[in-house]
């Protein structure tokens, strides 16, 4: 049985649930209730599903109340449990970006791609087994689509940059924007005097800094009261913090373009060390009371994935140059 700190209520109709993936306070999802209907925005890995079901029960909700399962994108820390969760929620529809949805209906390529990034043993331990979602219980979302939930609406906007199939869900009633990875990484352990450190996440395979900056513009145009990040937790007044995210994107681009001048051999290892110096250094400058070893441990997974993603971005740029694009 999990403890109550695995979730917390943000407002009258929104809860943050810690999925337990990687470590406490690393990966969350959001439960939204209007009327008697529920939506889960992101759902963690397949291994996270028992925890989500337990939290629902402790909150006094039934799986039959779940109307929607809404991954912001199909990376496995956000959507790996979607098929398994759908099987437990008989009235639910799985809805996500139209480019990502086919990978949840037939997750074989998604699974193989994740195994290539994490290795098979780590994949099994972290994510478990991906279960396909029945196509007849799924809905492909496009820019401007809305979902009716208990008499209110959730709006979907396409927000590429971290992934080309990334989208956000906006609850205009509560002012909450559920941002997946497109508002970056924020770990409360790194906060100082109530101010967050925001870090871009360049996870493989579709980092696009130009599209990302445009997505920030589109998010802010909604004037959200709160950004609800999967990694990790809510940030009030996101317009105030957006410049920090924009700078982090540019910092990653600067490191990658400097690396581009060098031979590809050993690239990922060099990127990892460059990012470690940058991000650990920024965290210590932001909050001088932090211990360096603890910061490195907190960012360990993200540093590795960001380095892999930048290496793939540089390889894509090289292919485009070869083709004259």
**pLDDT (tens digit per residue) in 132-143:** 999 999 999 999
Once rounded to an integer, what is the mean pLDDT over residues 23-36? 95
Once rounded to an integer, what is the mean pLDDT over residues 159-174? 96
Q: Confidence band (pLDDT; 50, 70, 90) for 303?
A: very high
Q: Flag the least confident range among 40-49, 126-135, 150-159.
A: 126-135
pLDDT at 202 over 60: yes
CA distance 299 to 309: 15
Residue 116: predicted pLDDT: 79
Helix or strand or coil: residue 68? strand
pLDDT at 4 over 70: no
Q: Which percentage of the chain shows pLDDT scores above 90?
A: 86
Residue 1: predicted pLDDT: 36
Q: Which percentage of the chain shows pLDDT scores above 70?
A: 98
Q: Confidence band (pLDDT; 50, 70, 90) for 2?
A: very low
What does the pLDDT look like over 221-254, one tens digit per residue? 999 999 999 999 999 999 999 999 999 999 999 9
Once rounded to an integer, what is the mean pLDDT over residues 206-225? 97
Residue 325: predicted pLDDT: 66
pLDDT at 123 over 90: no
pLDDT at 206 over 90: yes
Token readout for 131 is 């279960």
Residue 82: predicted pLDDT: 97
- Say which residues have a Cβ less than 8 Å from residue 73's Cβ, sequence separation at least 6: 79, 96, 97, 100, 162, 163, 165, 166, 167, 180, 181
Q: Flag the least confident range among 13-27, 108-122, 242-256.
A: 108-122
Using CA atoms in the order 315, 317, 319, 323, what is the torsion angle rounded to 10 degrees?
180
Q: Which domains are present in the chain?
A: 4-246 (3.60.15.10), 247-322 (no CATH)
- What is the number of helices (H) and of strands (E) in the chain? 11, 13
**Lookup result for tokens 């989208």:** 167
Q: What is each CA distance from 208 to 148, 200, 202, 219, in whole angstroms?
A: 31, 11, 9, 16
Under the phi-then-psi rule, with left for phi > 0, alpha for psi from -120 to 50, and beta for the rest, what region is 30? beta
Mean pLDDT, the chain, as a whole number?
94
Question: Which helix H or strand E contains 37, and what residues bound it?
Answer: strand 37-41
Once rounded to an integer, what is the mean pLDDT over residues 180-190? 96
pLDDT at 290 over 90: yes
């Amino acid at each position: 049985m999990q403890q109550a700190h695995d979730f917390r209520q943000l407002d009258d109709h929104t809860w943050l649930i810690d999925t337990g993936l990687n470590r406490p306070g690393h990966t969350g999802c959001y439960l939204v209730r209007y009327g008697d209907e529920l939506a889960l925005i992101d759902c963690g890995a397949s291994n996270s599903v028992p925890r989500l079901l337990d939290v629902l029960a402790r909150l006094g909700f039934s799986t039959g109340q779940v109307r929607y399962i809404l991954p912001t994108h199909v990376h496995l820390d956000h959507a790996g449990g979607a098929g398994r969760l759908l099987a437990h929620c008989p009235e639910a529809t799985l809805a996500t970006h139209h480019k990502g949805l086919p990978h949840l209906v037939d997750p074989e390529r998604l699974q193989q791609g994740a195994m290539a990034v994490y290795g098979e043993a780590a994949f099994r331990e972290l994510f478990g087994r991906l279960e396909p979602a029945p196509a007849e219980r799924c809905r492909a979302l496009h820019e401007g689509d809305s979902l009716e939930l208990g008499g209110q609406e959730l709006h979907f906007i396409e927000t590429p940059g971290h992934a080309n199939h990334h989208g956000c869900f906006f609850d205009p009633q509560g002012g909450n924007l559920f941002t997946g990875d497109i508002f970056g990484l924020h770990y409360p352990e790194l906060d100082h005097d109530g101010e967050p450190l925001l870090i871009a996440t360049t996870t493989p395979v579709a980092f696009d800094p130009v599209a990302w900056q445009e997505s920030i513009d589109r998010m802010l145009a909604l004037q959200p009261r709160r950004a609800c990040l999967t990694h990790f937790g809510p940030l009030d007044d996101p317009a105030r913090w957006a410049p920090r995210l924009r700078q982090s994107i540019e910092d990653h681009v600067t490191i990658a373009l400097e690396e581009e001048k060098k031979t590809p051999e050993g690239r990922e290892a060099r990127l990892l060390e460059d990012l470690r110096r940058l991000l650990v250094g920024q965290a210590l400058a932001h909050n001088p009371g932090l211990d360096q070893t603890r910061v490195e441990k907190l960012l360990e997974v993200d540093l590795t994935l960001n380095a892999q993603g930048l290496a793939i971005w540089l390889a894509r740029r090289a292919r485009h140059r070869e083709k004259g694009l």
